[in-house]
Chains A and B, each alone.
Chain A
Amino acid sequence: EAQVTQNPRYLITVTGKKLTVTCSQNMNHEYMSWYRQDPGLGLRQIYYSMNVEVTDKGDVPEGYKVSRKEKRNFPLILESPSPNQTSLYFCASSLVGYLAKNIQYFGAGTRLSVL
């Protein structure tokens, strides 16, 4: 089954304790992206990657890191989480190119609470 898998689904942590949220896709997609969803703000892009070893900032990158060492994986790293990073996070992937129509496929989400 074609899917984007995020882990963990739920996470409660404390300020300053480094954490990683994993994302993996099995569709051989070149493009992967991380979003956060907050009430009244919709989905905002954190980071994205056009292919292996190619990453770039989205609209709200502060406090986050990413890496793309393999095509299928795109982990999101919070080196020193703060309470304002409490949010619902989504990973997404898609093919690249005009015919791909920018249709992105999303994981089920990771709900993060930073105390």
Chain B
Amino acid sequence: DQQVKQNSPSLSVQEGRISILNCDYTNSMFDYFLWYKKYPAEGPTFLISISSIKDKNEDGRFTVFLNKSAKHLSLHIVPSQPGDSAVYFCAASRRKIQGAQKLVFGQGTRLTINP
């Protein structure tokens, strides 16, 4: 039962263009969503997050959009740079429950930025 799904295993984008990574979830109890970035031979690192009370959160070149009615979130990277080439994981959690720390991850999307 995959509660968080990233249906695109890979994405290739030209440098300078916009990268859009998508994520769908099934559990309506999720109230906090995160994106992690992973380089080869390193652990995932936190990139950006969004609470379910918002529909957009922006941090520099990175913006996350949340559409609760569609149970869909997306990560936009503008402009894309070669250093953005990595695997991106979407994750979801239920933050409002006391002690609930569990993150449920998607399968990941490998983003390649071409010069």
**Prevailing SS type, chain B contact patch:** loop
For this complex, into which size category does the number of interface residues on chain A fall? 20 to 34
| CB–CB A109/B89 < 8 A | no
* Interface residue tally for chain B (C-beta within 8 Å): 25
Q: How far is the CB of B78 from chain A (nearest CB, A)?
A: 23
| CB–CB A90/B34 < 8 A | no
Residues of A within 8 A of B95 (CB): 98, 101-102
Within 8 A of B (CB), among A74-115: 90, 92, 94, 96, 98, 100-109
| CB–CB A101/B49 < 8 A | yes
- When chains A and B are docked, how far (Å) is the Cα of A105 from the Cα of B49? 14
In the complex, whether B65 has a CB less than 8 A from a CB of chain A is: no
| CB–CB A50/B42 < 8 A | no
| CB–CB A103/B102 < 8 A | no
In the complex, whether A45 has a CB less than 8 A from a CB of chain B is: yes
Residues of B within 8 A of A33 (CB): 101
Within 8 Å by CB of B107, from A31, A41, A90, A105, lies A41
- When chains A and B are docked, how far (Å) is the Cα of A36 from the Cα of B36? 15
Within 8 A of A (CB), among B75-115: 89, 93, 95-96, 99, 101-103, 105-108
In the complex, whether A48 has a CB less than 8 A from a CB of chain B is: yes
- When chains A and B are docked, how far (Å) is the Cα of A4 from the Cα of B89? 19
Using a CB–CB cutoff of 8 Å, the interface residues on chain B facing chain A are: 4, 6, 9, 32, 34, 36, 41-46, 49, 89, 93, 95-96, 99, 101-103, 105-108
Additional A-B contacts beyond A102-B103, A103-B46, A106-B43 (14; CB < 8 A): A4-B43, A35-B105, A40-B107, A41-B107, A42-B6, A42-B89, A42-B107, A42-B108, A45-B102, A100-B101, A104-B46, A106-B45, A108-B41, A108-B42
